[in-house]
């Protein structure tokens, strides 16, 4: 961005350097981490925390996949199976996916991308991490004391009346985690509004910022609705009567409305940040300006807004009015428009770009393919008549895993590889990176594509036993899951390895143009030697100039 104008940023642009005076060396010991208000360190605290929850939830998924190897429910009881899919859903949604890109990568790069020294409220930022840890402790307490068997959706009246499990403590954990998300959202919105560097107008913001701004709007407007809903559900469970209670004339369906009023927008909390990462990766590794910048930025906002008015498509078979169903179906189709705008613009950016297939780019390309499949099957389930057939089947499971795992987790991994040199000052090993990206892609498809077929053939979700004719596809899916597991364990190993042994990255190993690359790696405590000034678009990639530079060097 300010390659041409800003002399202050050129000071640190010597390659191969490792800035000794950085945020990691600024304080030593556990206390310096637990009391830090540095957004970069808080991002890393989140990274470790969500890793723990990811691993627990992944173990739950692995146990389910092993159980489903055989048609009979022979490994674990149906009660245990119920608890496994509940803990998998709860932890993956609230303790991994929602904080993944926003709280880890967002915390780390938002202030740097906009040329700020920190977020607007650094102490609140740390507080939100402590809330998150407290919430996780509540969730783990519920898990250790016997778990919850309601599914991550907590539908009434099962959750309020019939479930014999730790519903209230788990709901309390989610309530507190929601508080943490809200604080993060407020912090990001205020930071993006008020802390931008001179010259950084809205339409010069990186698309990652647009995506996280849209995400934050959803975080602050949707999460409180979940909070009140779970609070009302818990109070009803505690007291024996409540507003969802048919005994008083209450309506259990009202719970579903309130729950999905949060949880559908929450799906976009779990994909918009991924789209933001992909916009950065595609343009950087095609050495080309993003195609249709304003469209990509505004489509994030459009998705955030539309996300609030489509919740009823989760309730087509809930006795909701057929007319409401038709409207919700139509509105849900509209979400495909801004999503399509993004996919087409990424594709157009690739067109005639000088593409290099480094690890982040492999994840980005994987994302585009998998997200497209997830999005198109989303149209299938948004169609009233089709949904009646595939509702509550593995088709739905496959659809949202293509978005959540094929989309968000791929984007998270891509972003983590992309910004890893900035975070640690060192490069991960490229060969192993590429290998892991490809293993992940293959393993993912083998896990979840058979589930589309299973669902279409009528296998319902949430059962630990099934008719023998579904075994073949289930075995394929379980085999895929084990490959996917390898794809996730590999980065864990080489990332840790690279902390000490990785090649020094220098300030800008990707020759990227964003402000975060105009400072040393790892960055100094206050990010920049002097406040940068933005004079142009964040994507001044120029393949011609690259080639000239390459020739000159050769």
Partner 1 sequence: MNATTTAVVAEQFDDIQQQHSAAKLGMWIFLATEVMFFGGLFLAYTVYRFTYGHVFALASRHLDDVFGGANTAVLLFSSLLMALAVRAAELDRRKQLVRLLLATALFGILFMTIKGFEYRKDFVEHLVPRFDFRWDGSDAANAELFFWIYFALTGLHAIHVTVGIALILVLALLARAGKFSPNFMPVEITGLYWHFVDIIWVFLFPLLYLAGHR
> Rule CB under 8 A: which residues touch partner 1?
116-124, 182, 185-187, 189-190, 193-195, 220-225, 227-229, 232, 235, 239-243, 247-251, 254, 258, 526, 531
Residue 39 Cβ vs partner 1, minimum distance, rounded to whole Å: 9
Question: DSSP character for 460?
Answer: B
Query: 66 vs 525, which CB is nearer to partner 1?
Result: 525
Q: Which helix (H) or strand (E) holds 147?
A: none
Name residue, tokens 């001044």. 540
Q: Please say which residue, 35 or 51, places its beta carbon nearer to partner 1.
A: 35
Write down the least CB distance from residue 190 to partner 1, Å.
Answer: 5
Beta bridge partners of 542: 288
d(Cα 432, Cα 215) in Å, to the nearest integer?
Answer: 32
Minimum gap (Å) between residue 121 Cβ and partner 1: 5
d(CA 260, CA 310): 9
CB of 239 to partner 1, least distance (A): 5
Q: Output the smallest distance, CB 200 to partner 1, in A.
A: 13
Judged by DSSP in three states, 132 sits in helix
158 vs 150: CA distance, rounded Å: 7
CA-only gyration radius of the chain, Å: 23
- Select 189 or 533, whichever has its Cβ closest to partner 1: 189
Alpha carbons 350 and 543: distance in angstroms, whole number: 12
Q: Which residue has the tokens 């998924």?
A: 61
Judged by beta carbon, residue 23 or residue 428, the one nearer partner 1 is: 23
The residue among 327 and 435 lying less far from partner 1, judged by its C-beta, is 327
CA–CA separation, 274 vs 257, rounded Å? Answer: 26
Output 254 or 334, the one with its CB closest to partner 1. Answer: 254
- Structure letter (DSSP) for residue 330: H
218 or 403: CB nearest partner 1 = 218
Complex with partner 1: residue 189 or 408, whichever CB lies closer: 189
Cβ distance to partner 1 smaller for residue 308 or 510: 308
DSSP of 489-527: HHHHHHHHHHHHHSPB--S-TT---SGGGGS-SSPPTTS
d(CA 151, CA 83): 8
Q: Which CB, 260 or 363, lies closer to partner 1?
A: 260
Phi and psi at residue 542, to the nearest 5°: -145, 105
The first and second tokens of residue 294, run together, are: 């304003």
User: What whole-number distance in Å separates Cα of residue 160 and Cα of residue 163?
Assistant: 7
Which stretch of DSSP H or E encloses residue 218? helix 207-239
Q: Which is nearer to partner 1, 482 or 531 (CB)?
A: 531
Dist. CA 474–CA 128, nearest whole Å: 40
Closer Cβ to partner 1, 52 or 186, answer by number:
186
CB 46 within 8 A of CB 132: yes
Q: How far is the CB of 117 from partner 1 (least distance, A)?
A: 5
Q: How far is the CB of 222 from partner 1 (least distance, A)?
A: 7
> Minimum Å distance from CB 201 to partner 1?
17
Classify residue 383 as exposed, middle or buried by CB count within 10 Å of its CB (0-12, 13-18, 19+).
Answer: middle
- Of 19, 47, 162, residue with least CA distance to 103: 47
Q: How many CB atoms lie within 10 A of CB 348?
A: 15
Least separation in angstroms between CB 215 and partner 1: 14
Cis peptide before 108 (omega within 30 of 0): no
- Structural tokens at position 450: 């058979």
Q: Shortest approach of partner 1 to residue 539 CB, angstroms? A: 26
CB of 95 to partner 1, least distance (A): 20
CB of 224 to partner 1, least distance (A): 4
């Amino acid at each position: 961005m300010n390659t041409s104008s800003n002399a202050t940023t050129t000071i640190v642009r010597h390659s191969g350097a490792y800035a000794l005076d950085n945020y990691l060396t600024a304080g030593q010991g556990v206390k310096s981490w637990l009391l830090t208000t540095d957004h970069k360190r808080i991002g890393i605290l989140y990274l470790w925390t969500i890793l723990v929850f990811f691993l627990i939830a992944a173990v739950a998924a692995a146990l389910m996949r092993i159980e489903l190897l055989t048609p009979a429910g022979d490994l674990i009881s149906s009660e245990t199976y119920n608890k496994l899919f509940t803990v998998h859903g709860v932890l993956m949604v609230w303790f991994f996916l929602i904080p993944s890109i926003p709280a880890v990568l967002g915390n780390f790069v938002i202030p740097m991308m906009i040329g700020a020294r920190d977020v607007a409220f650094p102490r609140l930022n740390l507080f939100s991490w402590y809330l998150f840890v407290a919430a996780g402790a509540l969730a783990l307490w519920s898990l250790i004391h016997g778990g919850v068997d309601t599914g991550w959706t907590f539908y009434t009246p099962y959750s309020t009346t019939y479930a014999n499990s730790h519903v209230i403590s788990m709901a309390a954990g989610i309530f507190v985690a929601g508080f943490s998300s809200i604080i993060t959202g407020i912090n990001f919105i205020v930071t993006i509004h008020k802390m931008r560097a001179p010259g950084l107008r809205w339409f010069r913001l990186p698309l990652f910022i647009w995506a996280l701004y849209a995400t934050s709007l959803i975080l602050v407007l949707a999460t409180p609705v979940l909070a009140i809903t779970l609070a009302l559900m818990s109070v009803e469970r505690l007291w024996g009567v409540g507003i969802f209670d048919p005994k008083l004339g209450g309506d259990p369906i009202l719970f579903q409305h309130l729950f999905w009023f949060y949880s559908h927008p929450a799906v976009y909390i779990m994909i918009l940040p991924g789209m933001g990462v992909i916009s950065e990766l595609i343009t950087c590794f095609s050495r080309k300006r993003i195609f249709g910048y304003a469209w990509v930025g505004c489509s994030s906002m459009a998705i955030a807004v539309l996300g609030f008015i489509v919740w009823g498509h989760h309730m087509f078979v809930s006795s909701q009015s057929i007319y409401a169903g038709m409207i919700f179906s139509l509105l849900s189709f509209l979400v495909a428009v801004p999503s399509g705008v993004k996919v087409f613009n990424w594709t157009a950016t690739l067109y005639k770009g000088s593409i290099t297939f480094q690890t982040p780019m492999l994840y980005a390309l994987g994302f585009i393919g998998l997200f497209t499949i997830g999005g198109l099957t989303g149209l299938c389930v948004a169609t009233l008549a089709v949904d009646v057939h595939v509702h509550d089947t593995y088709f739905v499971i496959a659809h949202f895993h293509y978005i959540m795992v094929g989309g968000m987790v791929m984007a998270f991994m891509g972003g983590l590889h992309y910004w890893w040199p900035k975070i640690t000052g060192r490069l991960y090993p490229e060969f192993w990176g590429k290998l892991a990206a490809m293993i992940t892609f293959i393993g993912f498809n083998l896990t979840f594509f058979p589930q589309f077929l299973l669902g279409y053939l009528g296998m319902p979700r949430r059962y630990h036993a099934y008719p023998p004719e579904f075994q073949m596809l289930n075995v394929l899916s379980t085999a895929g899951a084990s490959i996917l597991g390898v794809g996730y364990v590999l980065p864990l190993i080489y990332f840790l390895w690279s902390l000490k042994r990785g090649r020094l990255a220098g300030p800008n190993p990707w020759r990227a143009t964003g402000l975060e690359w105009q400072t040393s790696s790892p960055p100094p405590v206050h990010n920049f030697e002097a406040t940068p000034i933005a004079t142009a678009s964040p994507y001044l990639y120029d393949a011609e100039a690259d080639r000239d530079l390459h020739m000159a060097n050769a």
